[in-house]
């Protein structure tokens, strides 16, 4: 027997994922018969022996996952990102026979109470923290010091030792602004996310880098901060209008919708006078009065993948922090049409 064999080796031989091998090893019922047999055959052929301690822990699971969202109930159900994201998590929990427990954190007091409930073994097998929009959450740092498996959605603000899943916000924003430059726009404004969040910071970095790489001077009068709400996009656009931008990159679709409303109320035509690109590709982007060009991130898939990774951490652990980035895609619609293309610098 080769004692150096790992779950990854068995997964590669069987042609399945690491988490699938883990579920077979731990006798999880939600595995197709032909897949289970393929994994077992790989185990028999290689002489692989599962870690006995890991299997003992697996047998003590409660099959319940906690989801911590740093928002009030009102914000949770008015921002269309979170219902979609939570849907993906719930669907994968159902598929893998896990129960989902939801915790909303709207204050420091809430955070302390929630941490007490989720940090002890027994109630939950693992915890998902959605912290990308609110990078200052101390609960992320606190969970690192516990033995409760956890994963953060969105790059954490401070903690580099956390397991997290995200997209490349810098590269994606760079793509969005590059598209506007290719359409001949030169006075490109940005409505950023909050400066205290990693999402806001990274998407602004991508905006600035795209301009700098193409010889466009940074004009601070073309930058306004929002908080991912439609009203903040509307207000930010009003502050940007005197600078006469010919395009706007908004760090979320919701803010872009508010910004377009402000531009139209000011008598500007979209996209003839001013173009817009958003971020997320939520349903409101395609259904807007002027369909919105945007960066599509797989929101539902984001939730599903987060559960898969967390369950893998629950069942198998990880000696090093796992940082997973999902792909994005530029979706071009009417809001950024018009004007001739131009050649960008390499």
User: What would the mean pLDDT of 188-215 be, rounded to a whole number?
Assistant: 95
Task: Kindly state the percentage of the chain with pLDDT values over 90.
Answer: 51
Question: Residue 133 in contact with residue 155, Cβ under 8 Å?
Answer: no
pLDDT value of position 2: 52
For residue 261, give the nearest of 221, 226, 288 by alpha carbon. Answer: 288
Cα separation, 154 vs 132, in Å, equals 4
What's the pLDDT tens digit per position in 243-267?
A: 999 999 999 999 999 999 999 999 9
User: What would the mean pLDDT of 46-65 be, rounded to a whole number?
Assistant: 67
pLDDT value of position 10: 86
pLDDT exceeds 60 at position 93: yes
Cα separation, 344 vs 346, in Å, equals 6
pLDDT value of position 159: 63
Unique residue bearing structure tokens 């979320």: 252
What's the pLDDT tens digit per position in 303-325?
A: 999 999 999 888 888 778 899 99
Task: Kindly state the percentage of the chain with pLDDT values over 70.
Answer: 87
Cα separation, 327 vs 271, in Å, equals 27
pLDDT exceeds 90 at position 272: yes
pLDDT value of position 183: 95
Q: What is the set of domains in the chain, with CATH numbers?
A: 7-59 (1.10.260.40), 64-166+299-326 (3.40.50.2300), 169-297+330-336 (3.40.50.2300)
What's the pLDDT tens digit per position in 136-194?
A: 467 887 887 788 899 999 888 766 788 999 999 999 999 999 999 999 999 999 999 99
Question: Residue 221 in contact with residue 186, Cβ under 8 Å?
Answer: no
Question: Residue 72 in contact with residue 287, Cβ under 8 Å?
Answer: no
* Helix, strand counts (H, E) of the chain: 14, 12
pTM for the predicted model, two decimal places = 0.79
Unique residue bearing structure tokens 């530029």: 330
The neighbouring-strand residues paired with 293 are 277
pLDDT value of position 293: 98
SS3 state of residue 57: helix
What's the pLDDT tens digit per position in 100-129?
A: 999 888 777 888 888 888 887 668 889 999
Cα separation, 201 vs 90, in Å, equals 29
Q: What distance lies between CA 43 and its chain's CA centroid?
A: 35
């Amino acid at each position: 027997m080769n004692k150096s064999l790992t779950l990854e080796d068995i997964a590669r031989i069987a042609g399945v994922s690491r988490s699938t091998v883990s579920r077979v090893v731990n006798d999880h019922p939600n595995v197709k018969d032909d897949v289970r047999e393929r994994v077992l055959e790989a185990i028999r052929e290689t002489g692989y022996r599962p870690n006995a301690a890991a299997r003992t822990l697996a047998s003590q699971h409660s099959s319940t996952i906690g989801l911590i969202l740093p928002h009030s109930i009102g914000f949770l159900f008015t921002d269309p990102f979170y219902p979609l994201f939570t849907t993906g998590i719930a669907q994968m929990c159902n598929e893998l026979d896990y129960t989902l427990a939801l915790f909303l954190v709207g204050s420091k007091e809430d955070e302390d109470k929630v941490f007490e409930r989720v940090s002890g073994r027994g109630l939950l097998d693992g915890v998902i923290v959605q912290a990308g929009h609110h990078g200052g959450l101390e609960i992320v740092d606190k969970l690192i010091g516990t033995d409760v498996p956890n994963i953060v959605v969105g790059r954490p603000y401070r903690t580099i030792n956390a397991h997290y899943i995200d997209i490349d916000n810098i590269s994606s924003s760079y793509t969005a602004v590059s598209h506007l430059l290719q359409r001949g726009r030169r006075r490109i404004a940005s409505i950023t996310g909050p400066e205290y969040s990693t999402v806001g910071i990274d998407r602004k970095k991508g905006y600035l880098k795209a301009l700098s790489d193409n010889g466009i001077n940074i004009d601070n009068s073309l930058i306004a901060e929002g908080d991912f709400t439609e009203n903040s996009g509307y207000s930010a656009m009003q502050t940007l209008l005197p600078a006469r931008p010919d395009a706007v990159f908004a760090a979320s679709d919701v803010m872009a919708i508010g910004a377009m409303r402000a531009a139209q109320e000011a008598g500007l035509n979209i996209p003839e006078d001013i173009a817009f690109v958003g971020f997320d590709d939520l349903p409101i982007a395609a259904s807007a009065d002027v369909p919105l060009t945007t960066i599509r991130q797989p929101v539902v898939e984001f939730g599903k993948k987060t559960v898969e990774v967390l369950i893998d951490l629950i069942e198998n652990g990880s000696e090093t922090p796992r940082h997973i980035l999902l792909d994005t895609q530029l979706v071009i619609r009417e809001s950024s049409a018009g004007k001739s293309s131009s050649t960008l610098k390499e």
